[in-house]
Amino acid sequence: MSSSGEIHSVSDILERLEELAAEGPRVNGGALVRAFGSRSYGPLLMLPPMLEISPLGGVPGFASTMAVVVALVAGQMMFGLECCWLPRVLTRGSVPSAKIRRASEKMRPLARRLDRWFHGRLRKLTRGTAVRAAAMACILLACTVPLLEFVPFASTAPMVAIALFGLALLVHDGALMVAAFAAAAAAIVFMAIVLA
């Protein structure tokens, strides 16, 4: 992580998670918001999909809970709020630190690849109207997750698209933002096929 403590990459997110896991036996939602929420919406949009895609995603109801978090974060992003707020019922919930560490370890190789591939291109597409459009897309995708949760691995499709939006905002990569919109469209088509 950079010396300033700012989060600029996927690896930085994992480092911050590991720091939180080292502080005690469990990590609660409030600690996650304090660790990520004051810096940017990118990490907060990436974190729920990363956790859902990890082994934690196998816990019944976990994907839907992460979808609620995404919708709340994206809604605040859409209205341009600087500080992210989550209700106490979500911030009080906690996850065992050991599971956080295991999930982080499994995500490390992917994080290194993502950090190597993506960097600031077409930065204009990561500001203003594009950010609000991304927020709306994330809300729509989050609404599909509860419908897909009962189909094995199906909720991963919208969560991957959400993670791409978060990554695009994190690294200010407009080309990745375009890819995220394409992934969102593909996820919606996938949902229509699965639920047809």
With vertex at residue 183, the alpha carbon angle to CA 181 and CA 188, rounded to the nearest 5 degrees, is 95
- Can you tell me the distance from the alpha carbon of 148 to that of 35, in angstroms, rounded to the nearest whole number? 30
Mean pLDDT by 10 residues, the chain (196 residues): 59 84 85 68 82 74 87 88 73 80 84 76 78 93 87 84 89 86 91 80
Report the pLDDT value the prediction gives residue 175, as an integer from 0 to 100.
85
All residues at 6 or more sequence positions from 109 whose CB lies less than 8 Å from its CB, including other chains: none
E strands, 6-83, in order: 26-28
**Which is it for the CA torsion 11, 161, 35, 18, positive or negative?**
negative
In terms of pTM, does the model score above 0.75?
no
The pLDDT of residue 77 is 86
Return the closest-CA partner of residue 44 out of 83, 5, 1, 98. Answer: 83
Residue 67, token pair as written in the block: 């979808």
Q: What pLDDT, on a 0 to 100 scale, did the predictor assign at position 136?
A: 94
Residue 96, classed as helix, strand or coil, is: strand
